[in-house]
């Protein structure tokens, strides 16, 4: 594959400080201010990425949930969607516990394409666009053409999948359509970089059986194999 340029790399501290200070989306800032009035003990602020700083997998969801990241300050920690996800992450060896609040991530980091809680869990197009610069900074820290070991971007849900594609360095995505979103879909998008997609672990999917624990486990074990991490269920481990 051809060499590609990436966004400027900044330190983790700088990246997270920029996210914490961001007030670019008036609707979301007002919505979070309203949540602060109702639930002053909650985080009620933008939520950056967290996890293993040497991650080979970056899991990308849509946006903080009201009782999840907007309450706890950590993406995918605190609600039923987090619990479902961490059961799978622990089984696949990416988390040290199935309890999100106690877990440490191994080889994996987690973020959302939009860092602030949106009303009805639905960011609008301008908000997705406004938040691209933060996702780009996270992507620049995660992968560059110089990486020698395989990396996987794991998108959770179709909206996150398409927003993630738009935030990729132009020279990776330029001239190519976003690979269609499908559960378990997989594409090689640059040297040592694959995009894998999975249904979101929202209640809408998990309570209707659209996403089952087996389906999530299958995708996570595939991702684990792609990046060369042995899972607890891997007979080689
Ligand atoms: S959603 Fe992103 S761009 Fe918008 S205010 Fe929050 S951090 Fe800033």
pLDDT of residue 162: 97
- How many Å lie between the centroid of ligand 1 and the Cα of residue 24? 5
What is the distance in A from the centroid of ligand 1 to the CA of 1? 33
**174 CA → ligand 1 middle, Å:** 25
Percentage of residues of the chain with pLDDT beyond 90 = 87
Whether 7 shows a pLDDT value over 60: the answer reads no
Residue 3 lies inside a defined structural domain of this protein: no
Within a domain: residue 233? no
Lowest mean pLDDT across 56-70, 89-103, 168-182: 168-182
Measured by CA distance, the residue closest to atom 3 of ligand 1 is 131
Q: Return the best residue to mutate from 22, 26, 35, 122 for the ligand 1 pocket (most ligand atoms within 8 A of CB).
A: 22
Which atom of ligand 1 lies nearest, measured to the CA of 133?
Answer: 3
**Mean of pLDDT values over 102-110:** 98
Within 59-202, residue ranges assigned H as helices are: 69-72, 80-91, 125-130, 132-142, 158-167, 170-173
> What's 115's domain CATH number?
3.40.470.10
Domains held by the chain: number: 1
Which tens digit of pLDDT belongs to each residue from 129-180?
Answer: 999 999 999 999 999 989 999 999 999 999 999 999 999 998 788 879 999 9
Query: Residue 131: which domain range?
Result: 12-227
């Amino acid at each position: 594959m051809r060499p590609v340029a990436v966004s400027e790399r900044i330190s983790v501290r700088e990246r997270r400080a920029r996210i914490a200070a961001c007030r670019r989306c008036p609707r979301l800032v007002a919505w979070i201010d309203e949540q602060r009035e109702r639930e002053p003990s909650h985080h009620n602020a933008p939520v950056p990425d967290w996890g293993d700083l040497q991650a080979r997998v970056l899991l990308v969801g849509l946006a903080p949930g009201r009782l999840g990241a907007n309450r706890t300050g950590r993406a995918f920690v605190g609600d039923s969607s987090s619990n479902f996800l961490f059961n799978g992450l622990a089984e696949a060896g990416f988390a040290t516990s199935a309890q999100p609040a106690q877990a440490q991530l191994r080889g994996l980091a987690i973020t959302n394409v939009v860092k602030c809680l949106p009303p009805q869990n639905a960011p609008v197009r301008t908000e997705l666009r406004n938040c691209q610069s933060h996702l780009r900074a996270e992507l620049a820290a995660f992968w560059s053409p110089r990486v020698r070991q395989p990396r996987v971007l794991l998108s959770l849900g179709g909206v996150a999948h398409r927003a993630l594609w738009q935030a990729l360095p132009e020279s990776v995505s330029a001239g190519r359509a976003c690979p269609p979103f499908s559960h378990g879909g997989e594409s090689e998008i640059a040297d040592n970089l694959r995009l894998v997609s999975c249904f979101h672990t929202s209640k809408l999917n998990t309570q209707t059986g659209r996403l089952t624990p087996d389906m999530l486990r299958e995708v996570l074990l595939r991702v684990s194999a792609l990046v060369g991490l042995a899972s607890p269920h891997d007979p080689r481990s």
